[in-house]
Structure 1
Amino acid sequence: MTVVRLSEVGRVHDEGAAAVHALRGVNLEAAAGELVAVMGPSGSGKSTLLNLAGGLDLATTGTVLVEGQDLAGVKDLAALRRRSVGYVFQDLNLIPSLTAVENVMLPRELDGVRSGQARAEALAVLAEVGMEHMAERFPEEVSGGQRQRVAIARALVGERRLLLADEPTGALDTRTGDEILQILRARADAGAAVLLVTHEPRYAAWADRVVFLRDGQVADSTDTPLESAR
């Protein structure tokens, strides 16, 4: 089952002489159980692609479907993201005044889940990423790798079917980066669709498919993993 599909998607920033074509005619899809790595040079449109796939931005042309819903026609994109899409941002976006478990609980509480249930779900997913023992710590009290795990737990909570990760290993050492990729791979194997932006071939090797962007267009796509780092 296809979870996300981008069809002839374009994204233009600004207008007239200042117009910048961030994406041009991009076709991409990810199915349940599939991890797709997106690679390309800086400025090629990788982060823009993730923003469109997750409804953080809307396409100028083309269509983006998440679980069959055309995002251009969704009235409450924030609600759709909370229920269907998990996003791991480059800068994590953890709230410093909330503990790890409170950060993970937040999207569920915003979606109307009672506090007790939201906490139970948050603790379960923190255990999945090996952070249950740090549940009551604040972001500044844990390491960079541990903060990344909390951010991933927040993206996973609620059994979201689409997981988007923008350079989730960028600030991590190799061992911790490998552990993060194991978590993303396990979630894909459990039935989610995962889109991973990375510049590291060793992490792209965990993917089922690698898509290469250049100048806002898909330059190549391969179903053959790169040399395995596993």
Structure 2
Amino acid sequence: MSGPLLSMVAAGRVHNADGPVPVHALRGVDLSVAPGELVAVMGPSGSGKSTLLHLAGGLDTPTEGEVLLDGVSLSGLSVKARAALRRRSVGYVFQDLNLVPALTAVENVMLPRELDGVRVRQARREAEAALADVDLSDVADRFPDELSGGQQQRVAIARALVGPRRLVLADEPTGALDSITGESIMKLLRARVDSGAAALMVTHDAQHAAWADRVVFLRDGAVVER
């Protein structure tokens, strides 16, 4: 493995900092993830797991410390520049999926590549291949509301893995899937990591955490065990 793709240095996030009751969602987290490495994050509800992913992907910025993606401090970028870097380098599986209702499954997966400037025909080929990887070729032209919850989740995973994404952030990526499909998704994620990507995954499932190279435990916004 080479140097870290993602580095969090004493990273913290305080909500309502100027209010009467500041909320410390994350406290002094030091964490790095290198290419070829899958890191699982575990902890009880409210421990800061989703906040950690939001900071790692540049969806939010730390109020303490810093987050670096490929050596670039995300706090030093404009909102526009941060979004461009995130779109090029980060594949994100959101817990609430965030599929676009008006787009078909294949169009949802194509979207980030089209935003990257990839031509439509090439974007569609890549999207179809990503859907095949999650065994959804037969529903490529269906809309999200025509899919089951598990199928929607697999579309979201295909969207996160399409194209040359170097960092994959996954918030409970197997949460709506049966055990067999969940294992197949973990194999797919593991294969992407073994081919050179870095991945940070939040999970409550110890069996799925076992696929990781390291497990980080959070409690009350702080790392309590590695």
TM tier, shorter chain? Answer: over 0.9
The code of the aligned residue for 2:62 comes to: A
- For 1:81 and 1:108, the matched residues in 2 are separated by 12
Matched, 1:6 2:8: yes
Matched, 1:18 2:15: no
> CA offsets, 1:49-100, max 9 Å, x none?
0000000000001110111111011221111111000100111111121111
The code of the aligned residue for 2:163 comes to: G
Q: TM-score, normalised by structure 1?
A: 0.92
1:117, distance to aligned residue in structure 2 (A): 1.7
Query: Percent same amino acid at aligned positions?
Result: 68
Q: Once superposed, which parts of structure 1, at least 4 consecutive aligned residues long, lie more than 6 Å away? A: none
1:146, distance to aligned residue in structure 2 (A): 1.8
- Paired residues for 1:1-230 under 5 Å: 1=2, 2-15=4-17, 16-75=19-78, 76-221=81-226
1:136, distance to aligned residue in structure 2 (A): 1.1
1:113, distance to aligned residue in structure 2 (A): 1.9
**Aligned pairs, number:** 221
> CA offsets, 1:137-167, max 9 Å, x none?
2112222222111101111112110000001
Q: Would you say the 8 A contact 2:153–2:176 is kept in 1?
A: no
Q: Give the alignment's Cα RMSD to 1 decimal.
A: 1.2
1:212, distance to aligned residue in structure 2 (A): 0.2
The code of the aligned residue for 2:59 comes to: L
Q: Which runs of 5+ in 2 are unaligned?
A: none
- For 1:118 and 1:187, the matched residues in 2 are separated by 19
- For 2:37 and 2:109, the matched residues in 1 are separated by 24
Q: Which runs of 5+ in 1 are unaligned?
A: 222-230
1:111, distance to aligned residue in structure 2 (A): 2.2
- For 2:48 and 2:195, the matched residues in 1 are separated by 28
1:193, distance to aligned residue in structure 2 (A): 0.6
